Amino acid sequence: MNEKISVLIVDDSAFMRKSLSIMLESDSSITVISTAKNGQEGYDLAKKLRPDIITLDIEMPVMDGLTALKKIMADCPTSVLMVSSLTTEGAQDTIKALELGAIDFIPKELSYVSVNISKIKDDLIQKVKEIVRQKSLKDRLIRLKSLNNNFTSDKRSLIIQKDLPVKGYKAIALGISTGGPLTLQKILPLISEKVNIPILIVQHMPPKFTKSLAERLNSLSKLEVKEAENEESLKSGVIYIAPGGFHMKLAKVGLHDIQISITREPADSLHRPSVDVMMNSVIDIFGKYTLGIIMTGMGKDGFEAIKKLKGLGGYCIAQNEESCVVYGMPKAIVDADLADLVLSAEKIPETINRII
C-alpha cells in the first residue's frame, strides 16, 4: 500500500486513546488521523474524515459505542474494531456489535498489562493491516450489512462448480476467525435439523466470548449449539463451539463413547483454541469421513490439518474471497489446491444439507 492506513480512535479514556495511538503509530504504515472521546464525536468524525478503520469503545458518555456503530454502518460503512471489556457483559455487547457490522475486537483490559503489551500491539497492528488490505472491503461491508435483512445467494460465489460425494461423513470440523461471529449467525440457522452428525467449530475468541456466541447461535439455529464442556460425550446433531482460551479435542473412551477434552495443551500453539489442534483430533477419530471447512479469518490456522485430511482421501470446503471479511485462512487452502469446493458463505450450509 502506497498510502498510510488512516485510523480513527473513539474512546472516552484518554489513557486508551494515547495507548492505542502509540501502538498503532509504531508501525510506519499506519497513522492516527484523529481521536474522539464519545460516540457522537466518533460518528461525526467518521463521516467527515472517512478513515480506513475505526477503533470503537463500547461504554462511553453522550453516545455509546453500539449506537455509534449503528449510525456509522448506516451512513458511512467503515471497518470497525471494537475495544471490548473481557467480562460476560462485555462479551454480550461485543457479540451484538459484531452482529451490527463490526469486523473484530481487541480486549480492553489487556492494554493495561505491560507484560502483554508487545503481543497486544502486534495483534492490533496485524488486524488493522489485514482488514484494510482486503480488496473492496467497504463494498463487502455494505453486503454484510445487507445480510442482516436478507441472506441471499450470489451466483458469482460458486467458483468450483462440482459437488462432494455423499459418502457417510461422520463429523464436520469447521475453522473460522475474523468475521466469523456474523457469518456463523447467518449460516448455522440454514443447516437442516436432519443433519445428524456432530459439528465442531473453532472460532478464535477469548474466554466468555465463546459462551455468549454459542448462546446467541443456539437461539437462532435448528440444531443445538453449545460451548463444549470437558469430558462430555460427543452427540450427533449438536454443534460444539470450542471455549475461548482452550483447545477442543476428541478422545475415545471404551469401545463406543467419544468424549470431548477441553485442555490448554499444546501450550505453544499460535491460537488457543486452534483449528489445527481441533481438526487433527477429529481426523484421528473419524479419518477421511471428516468434512473439513475453512472460513473467513487471518493467517493459516487449519492448513496443516486439511493437508492431513486430504492425504487420507477426505474432502474440504473453503469459503470464497467475495464473502470473506478477511481472505486469509481459506486462501491458504485454495492456493495449495486443497479445496474440493470453494463456496460463498451461504452456499456452505446448502452443500452440507445436500450431502449429509
Joined grid coordinates for residue 25? 503509530
> How far apart, in whole angstroms, are the C-alpha atoms of residue 222 and residue 133?
36
SS3 150: coil
Output phi, psi for 130, to 5 deg.
-70, -40
- What letter does residue 197 receive in the DSSP assignment? S
Cross-strand partners of 343: 319
> Whose CA is closest to 339, among 158, 118, 124?
158
The catalytic position among 84, 204, 221, 340 is 204
Q: Which of 64, 104, 301, 340 is catalytic?
A: 301
Q: Is 340 a catalytic residue?
A: no
CA distances from 22 to 8, 32, 35, 169, 219 (A): 13, 9, 12, 50, 40
Q: Which of 177, 212, 221, 281 is catalytic?
A: 177
The amino acid that residue 73 corresponds to is M
d(C-alpha 266, C-alpha 76), whole Å: 43
The SS3 assignment for 259 reads strand
For 115, other C-beta atoms within 10 Å of its C-beta total 7
Q: Which of 233, 237, 236, 153 lies closest to 188, judged by CA?
A: 237
Backbone angles phi, psi at 269, to 5 degrees: -75, 150
Q: CA 100 to CA 88: how far, in whole Å?
A: 19
Query: Whose CA is closest to 280, among 303, 297, 298?
Result: 303
Catalytic residue at 93?
no
Q: Is 281 a catalytic residue?
A: no
Active site (catalytic) residues: 177, 204, 301
